[in-house]
Structure 1
């Protein structure tokens, strides 16, 4: 089968589903201009990243399966998938929007805006460790993209209902307010959806990967379920939340069967500090509703001002640690032998000293987070809710930082 045939199959399926959804709904259809703008953005991003990744040698195509038409290095067939997404996703969202249906509640509860925050670390670590593009990468990425997030956030929304109904930021992109009748089916859907993925990943891994996956899933449950409720134990709440995002990366390394080097430990440690700082900063905006509902957190324990300042220091420490690591994926993650000295790996990635060190550039990516939190350096418990503006900026910073990290990884690959 050619890539063009695959494109046409995806487009036909997406178009057919969109037509059926539109025909079954009496409400107004999505506006045309936003759809065209989203499609254009997806096509531009596809062109940019396809060209960068193909130039870096990350993947290639069988010439006999292509039409030969390309945009730069990117075959035109690659643009069929973003077009299919641009057709299908708005149709699904419009179909579910405005209804209090179970599927919409699950979708909102899974925090789609944060899906990439767990899938990306797994996929990047697995590929950097030499795992290759295979079925384990596909299954693991899909698992950490949706089911993992639904289990994590859905469980939290069930057991945090008392505070969520008091929280003005809940009920949208930042989390669902799940009514009690949906609690039990939501838990069944969240954890039942994980079962087939976990079974496949267990079959594809070994004892080390099983242990990491078990820790990751335990942290997801322990954060919210009664009897454990790590989210109500100051400092442990931030550490557990950070584990939610760092463990997919550690699992990617374990699944690929690679050993940890000191540089890899430093990078993962920096990621962990970033995660703790982010959780602590995010908890400040919820001090009011959390205290009213009797829910404890690091922010309710030590107060808004101390929590914000600790988050700023945590971001700065994370940046310093990743800068010191050299941020050289080839030396940090691949192989089980002696790691390349940090200085040597940095020089190799930077063109033997002719350019800026990747570790320094990566370390600088923590500064916007520190500045964003430092804006609220003098915040008090009484006006803690104003840090919500900083949290919204944080969500956008994640996308900008992910973009920068991706470009940095591609640059390192091209220099090696």
Structure 2
């Protein structure tokens, strides 16, 4: 597949979406102003694209296979690079107009507030937790920055989290009403009139990326993308609700964070080795521990709402202890990976130290673990820094 066909696909989809959204969202007399603004925005983005792409290509941060491009360039930037800003400026303003339009004069649209609530629901503080595994897996395998890496990283950074957490907040509304944690850094409390728009927003921001990434890969990528998307939906939607099936809830939640790495490896054509499997297993155990420990703080609101979880079934104390054991096993597993993988074993220590003080927590005091959970969110950034240093070391050893 050449970059040209990919670019044309993006532009065609964006053009259709932009015309439809602008047509439905623009007030009388706004259409001409809208398209003039689109033109000016693209002119500005085109200049920036030409400059910064040329700089990055000149620094040899990435390159294009000449057999996949037309050869027309602005500076060093292939003409195909301009498809993405064009697609963005054609589709996104119309989408914004549609999402924020007024249904009639003087009446507020039922969609007012959707965008900020969608951003809040997507947990921006945690976006990196899904984008980083994908980007790291691809970059360490291919050793180059290409369009698949860029598109995939953006997908797992924002649209993926919008779907994962947005769908969850829609179907968890009843229990979230009883949960004092909702409405801030740990998720939105979505008003009922935003539920259907949120689900539509999740669909239209995810499906195009899934199709593009599927076209970029083979069967392994198709399977991993399918598993990833299914896990996102199955965790929350009515009829499946894996989050209410003890143990399966932790397994599914961990899949949310490990599957982006698996997708990256599949798209990069990575060789499956024992060391890689051990690393993924350790990551999966880490994810299960994180979910289990996070479920402890919600025992009371979950029980009041009739929601089952690994924590509501085995209790706060046992769940905390299970999380400690899972983090310990994950750390020990890293000792069996090729060098410098064993260095990552130390990353399990701060999580265990953060969780261990609640070794004897009870169901009635389970809400107190929220303090440790908030620390956990920021521990992920420290862990990411250490993992990055290990990746840099790995890069240097294999260069």
Whether these two folds match at TM > 0.5 is yes
Aligned pair 1:400/2:382, yes or no? yes
Moved over 4 A (4+): none
Q: Is 1:370 the counterpart of 2:352 in the alignment?
A: yes
1:125 partnered with 2:107: no
Give runs of aligned pairs for residues 339-378 of structure 1, distance below 5 A: 346=339, 358-378=340-360
Q: Deviations over 1:192-248 (max 9, x none)?
A: 111211121111111110110000000000000111100000000000000000000
Residue deviations 1:353-407 (CA, integer Å, cap 9, x gap) = xxxxx23320111111111111110100000000000000100100000011101
Query: What's the offset of the Cα at 1:120?
Result: 0.4
Query: CA–CA distance in 2 between the matches of 1:259 and 1:60?
Result: 22
* Whole-Å separation in 2 of the counterparts to 1:411 and 1:284: 37
Out of 149, 155, 161, which is 2:167 matched to? 155
Conserved 8 A contact 2:120-2:185? yes
| Cα displacement (A) at 1:131 | 6.0
Distance 1:238 1:304 in 2: 15
CA distance in 1, matches of 2:396, 2:197: 48
Residue 114 of structure 1 corresponds to which residue in structure 2?
A: 126
Contact between 1:246 and 1:271, CA under 8 Å: does it hold in 2?
A: yes
Q: Which whole-Å deviations, capped at 9, do the CAs of 1:160-197 have from their partners, x for residues lacking one?
A: 00111111111011000001100000000011111211
Cα distance, 1:412 vs. partner?
2.4
In the aligned structure 1, how far is the partner of 2:250 from the partner of 2:203?
23
Q: Which moved more, 1:302-311 or 1:258-267?
A: 258-267
Which of 343, 346, 363 is the aligned partner of 1:381?
363
Superposed displacement of residue 315, structure 1: 0.2
Do the aligned partners of 2:62 and 2:145 also contact (CA within 8 Å) in 1?
A: no
1:411 to 382, 388, 393: 393
Q: Which has the larger displacement, 189-198 or 229-238?
A: 189-198
Q: What CA distance in whole angstroms lies between the structure 2 residues aligned with 1:415 and 1:140?
A: 26
Residue matched to 2:21: none
Q: d(CA) in 1 for partners of 2:287 and 2:253?
A: 7
Residue pair 2:171, 2:237 contacting (<8 A) in 1 also? yes
Q: Does 2:122 correspond to 1:140?
A: no
Distance 2:394 2:146 in 1: 23
Please name the residue that 2:45 is paired with: none
Asked if structure 1 preserves the Cα contact closer than 8 Å seen for 2:61 and 2:144, the reply is no
Does the 8 A contact of 1:305 with 1:379 survive in 2? yes
Which of 101, 104, 124 is the aligned partner of 2:116?
A: 104
* Residue segments in structure 2 that go unaligned for 5+ positions in a row: 1-55, 64-74, 77-99, 101-110
CA distance in 2, matches of 1:384, 1:295: 16
Please tell me whether the aligned partners of residues 297 and 369 of structure 2 are also in contact (alpha carbons under 8 angstroms): yes
CA distance in 1, matches of 2:62, 2:238: 49
Name the residue aligned to 2:373: 391
8 Å CA contact 1:111, 1:175 repeated in 2: yes
The equivalent residue for 1:312 is: 324
Alpha-carbon contact 1:286-1:385 (below 8 Å) kept: yes
Uncovered stretches (5+) of structure 1, i.e. residues with no partner: 1-53, 67-95, 327-345, 347-357
- Aligned-residue CA RMSD (Å): 2.0
Q: Does the 8 A contact of 1:287 with 1:384 survive in 2?
A: yes
1:138 deviation in Å? 0.7
Label 1:100 to 1:307 Cα distance change in 2 as closer, same or farther (>3 A): farther
The 5-angstrom pairing of residues 15-30 of structure 1 reads none
Q: Using the TM superposition, give the Cα deviation of residue 60 of structure 1 relative to its aligned residue in structure 2, in angstroms.
A: 7.7
Following the alignment from structure 1 to structure 2, what is the Cα–Cα distance between the partners of residues 100 and 246?
34
Q: Check whether the contact 2:62–2:144 (CA below 8 A) recurs between aligned residues.
A: no
Alpha-carbon spacing, 1:402–1:58, altered in 2? closer, same or farther (3 Å): farther
Match of 2:14 in 1: none
How far is the alpha carbon of 1:414 from its aligned partner? 2.2
Q: Could you say which residue in structure 2 is the equivalent of 1:296?
A: 308
Which of 298, 306, 314 is 1:286 aligned to?
A: 298
